[in-house]
Structure formats: structure tokens, C-alpha cells
Structure 1
């Protein structure tokens, strides 16, 4: 069996599992502990969602994860399979799209494993996280083996794209630090609720933000690492930003508190990153496909 076939099987498993988990998360609304409030270790009371798979989540978190499930089902899975189709046609653009959307699945199910309260789908979340990790590494490695500088020889907006990626990385970092710094004196970080820590902020500050900044500066200096990471981070950024936009709308509808940044800044960055993806894909030299084809065999 060729590497292409193995990769195709792996991606289809991820797509089918993610679709099934998302459908159940969206439509499971059976009452379990509706209206129940639980005390936190800080002495506050948090009202639980009380329904379906996410019955032990707070109202705010339940609105977010259900919105995430909708984005995964209606955008993430179709994007994953269409990217796989293009990648299997030996399209370098398809390979970038596939690697980027796999980054979304990896991040999404890592957060489900470490953020969400334990539920009956924990092992499925863990399986999806593991499969997405290995698929992401495999596809990123295949891109790393290609002479990417030659593919982006036609790119004309490199400086703008580089600077916007760097700016987004700093913006995310400052946003989370602005939420965390006030609690350093002994207070409770905003959004902690009845959870024990803040894994999303840890993942973003420890991995996503540095990766954004490194990829931006590397692209600015025309390094191979920049051409490798920048498209992947842009695609991953778009999918995650769309999820955040959906979360903000869902929280607003459910009556949860939503910050102005979530309602204004994130949709703005979504548009910017979609434009950046257009610029990068426009600058790809599609005439050089033979090298990618050889590596996919």
C-alpha cells in the first residue's frame, strides 16, 4: 500500500469519526441535570448546561463546544475531504490546505480532551486527537521534503502577509495575557468558572502564538520554514477563527457574556486571514507539480 493510500484511509477515519461525534454533540439534548449549580473552589456558583453530551459544562462552555461541533461538521469535515481530494491530485495547494485543516482537527480535539469535563466520548476525543496528530505530522513532513521556495517564486505580497501573521500572533498573546495578569495577585482568571485551569490559553501562549510569530518572521526573511509554516498557520487560523466567531454568536444567543474582542476583533481577523490565504495560494507556482507527485507515491 502506498503512502498516499495510507494517508487517504487515515483522513477518512478522522472525517467519519469527527462527523459522528459532532452530530451527537449538536443534537443530544436530553435533560440530565438542568438548572443545577455547582460551587467552585473559589466560592462561586456556576450553572451547568444540564443537557446532552455536554451536560456538565457551564452554559458558556456548552455554547462554545456545540458551536465548535457545528463548524467541524459543516465546514471542517467538508474542507478536510475536499483538501484530501486536491492533495491526492498532487496539487501543492491541496497539500497545504490538507495540512492546515489537520492542524484545526488536532487543536480542536486536544482542547476537547483537556478542557471539556469528562464525558462518555472521552476515548473518541482522545482517538481523534491522536489520529489528527499523526496525520498532521505525516503531511507536514511531506511538505518539508519539497523545495518550497521555488513554489512561491511568484508571491508578491510576502511582506504584508508576514506582518499580518506576526500581528495576529501578538494580538492573541496580548489578549490572553490581559486576561491572566490581573489574576496574578491572587484573583480568579476570567472564564475559569468551575474548571481547574486554562488549557486553551496554555496551548495558544505556548504553541500557537510562538508558531505564528516564527512563521511570520521566517516568511519575511524568505526562509523555507516560513514558506512551510505560514500557509499552514493561515489555514489553521481561518478554521479556528470561524469556530471562535460561531462560539461568540452561540454565546450571545444563549445569554452568556461575550467580550467586544470576540464580536469585533475575531471576525475582522477572519476576513484578513481569508485574504492572506488568497494571496498565498495565488502566489504558488502551480507549474511545478512533478516533485510533489513523486513524494506522494
Structure 2
């Protein structure tokens, strides 16, 4: 299918209000010390850490890539989509697992706009021949296998926390520390995001058209998620005094590896 090159303003129509609301909500979470007073110390630190990531990382990326995507930039579209799916992940947590507060309705608006922006994007873009975006020598097997390794590593990590508790009738420590019914990160990853990473990796290895787009999109998702974890860890260290440097170090290295694979892959995109 021939790619349309005219300006695609729906990127801006969705993204600008999302970015504005993110800055307002996360700004309040950062500047108002007792805003998350109903959360446990662990969950409060994670909320504030996500707020910092939203303001200084997520919002700027969405804003910049929306303008470039509206002009037809291919790399910008991939980064925009990967960042938006990460934003959906975050605002599912805000909407369902943060105690009700004054910003609840704004969380829902951000979540809804993020979901519908991806649906519109899919309707307008996913029939394109993404394979034709790239040069012939694309490291499909290397990147595809890397995605499968990422999924396997997180499955192993999360199952090591939740499976023993399920077998023995106990409760994972992460659920106890957050005073939550279940671990929402486990639920989202088991049900949606880790399977999507696997699908992206398999489609890319098999050189399927959609895999050429999904794979870098999930690399972006993984990279930004890692940055989010680093932010949460640093805020937790400040608020609790716990030594989170080893964890932050591990995810810093992991982020750099993801960035390397992403750059190697995206540099193969042809100039329009």
C-alpha cells in the first residue's frame, strides 16, 4: 500500500492535550508532598518516580515526536507509538491502582486519549508496507532474538516472585509492600506486554511486514520502561534511604543495550 506523505495532524490533536494533562497531573504529584498520602511508602515512591519520568522524559518525547510524525517522519512515528504504549501502561496503573484522588478523572482522560490515539494510528498506518521502509540489510534475527530474550528474562523475574506465592498460598512481597490486591505490573506484563514483545520478535525473525514496525516500537517501550524503573528506584532511595544503586545500575546498563539495538535498527530506515 502506498504511503501517504501529507501532514497527519491527528498526532498533534491527540498528543498535545495528553502532554498538557501529563504535565499538570505529574507536576502536582511532584510539587505537593502529601498528594499520595493514602499510598504505602513503597507505592508512594513509585508514583512520584513515575511523575518525574513523565515530566522530564515521557512528555518531551511525545511532544517532539508528534510534531515530527505529523510531518511524516518514520522514525518519529515508531518512537511516538512506543512511547504512547508506555504511557498507556503507566496510566492504567494511575487509574486502577492509585487510591482515588482529585486527579482521577484526568488519569482516565489521559488513558482514554492514549488508547484512542493508538487505535487511530493503527487504522491509518498498519496497512502500510513497513518492510519497504527499511534497507535490505536489516539485523532482523539479532533484534528479534534480543526481544525474545527480554521477554524471557522478565517472565523469569516476575514468575520468581509470583509463582512460589501462588503455589504456597502466600502473597508476593511486592503486593504486600504496596498494599494492593495483586501486583498490577505482573498482571499487565503477563497478559499484554510480554506477549506483545514475543509476537514482535517472532514476526521480525520471520520477516513479516508488521514485525518491522512492532519490533522497534517494543524496543522503545522497553527502553522507556527501563528509564521509568530507574526513576522509581532513585526516588525510593531518596524517600526511604534504601540502597537501590545495584538495581539502578542494572537497568542503566540494560537501557544502554536497548538503546544500542534501537539505534542499529532504526538507522536502516530509508530517508523519505
Say yes or no: TM over 0.5. yes
Shift of 1:238: 1.4
Q: Partners of 1:206 and 1:267 in 2: how far apart?
A: 26
2:32 corresponds to which residue?
Answer: 28
Secondary structure of residue in 1 paired with 2:232 = helix
CA contact (8 A) 1:95 1:143 kept: no
1:196 aligns with 2:181: yes
Q: 1:225 to 1:205 in 2, by over 3 A?
A: same
Task: Give CA deviations for 1:148-172 in whole Å, capped at 9, x if unaligned.
Answer: 1111234432222111111111111
1:246 aligns with 2:231: yes
CA contact (8 A) 1:155 1:280 kept: no
Unpaired stretches in structure 1, ≥5 consecutive residues: 30-50, 290-297
1:71 aligns with 2:53: yes
CA contact (8 A) 2:130 2:210 kept: no
Task: Give CA deviations for 1:48-76 in whole Å, capped at 9, x if unaligned.
Answer: xxx2x211111111111111111111111
Task: Give CA deviations for 1:208-250 in whole Å, capped at 9, x if unaligned.
Answer: 1111111111111111121121111111111111000111121
Unpaired stretches in structure 2, ≥5 consecutive residues: 1-5
Q: Partners of 2:164 and 2:246 in 1: how far apart?
A: 18
CA contact (8 A) 2:8 2:71 kept: no
1:263 corresponds to which residue?
Answer: 248
Q: 1:157 to 1:213 in 2, by over 3 A?
A: same
Q: Partners of 1:158 and 1:179 in 2: how far apart?
A: 32
CA contact (8 A) 1:155 1:284 kept: no
1:181 corresponds to which residue?
Answer: 163
Shift of 1:88: 1.6
Shift of 1:264: 4.2
Q: Partners of 2:160 and 2:244 in 1: how far apart?
A: 13
1:4 aligns with 2:12: no
Secondary structure of residue in 1 paired with 2:270 = coil
Q: Partners of 1:76 and 1:172 in 2: how far apart?
A: 22
Task: Give CA deviations for 1:115-168 in whole Å, capped at 9, x if unaligned.
Answer: 212212111111111100011222233331211111123443222211111111
1:172 corresponds to which residue?
Answer: 154
Larger radius of gyration: 1
1:206 corresponds to which residue?
Answer: 191
| Matched length | 264
1:157 corresponds to which residue?
Answer: 139
Q: TM-score, normalised by structure 2?
A: 0.91
Give the 5 Å matches for 1:1-297: 4-29=8-33, 51=34, 53-184=35-166, 185-193=168-176, 194-255=179-240, 262-286=247-271, 289=272
Q: 1:251 to 1:178 in 2, by over 3 A?
A: same
Shift of 1:3: 8.4
Shift of 1:82: 0.7
1:33 corresponds to which residue?
Answer: none
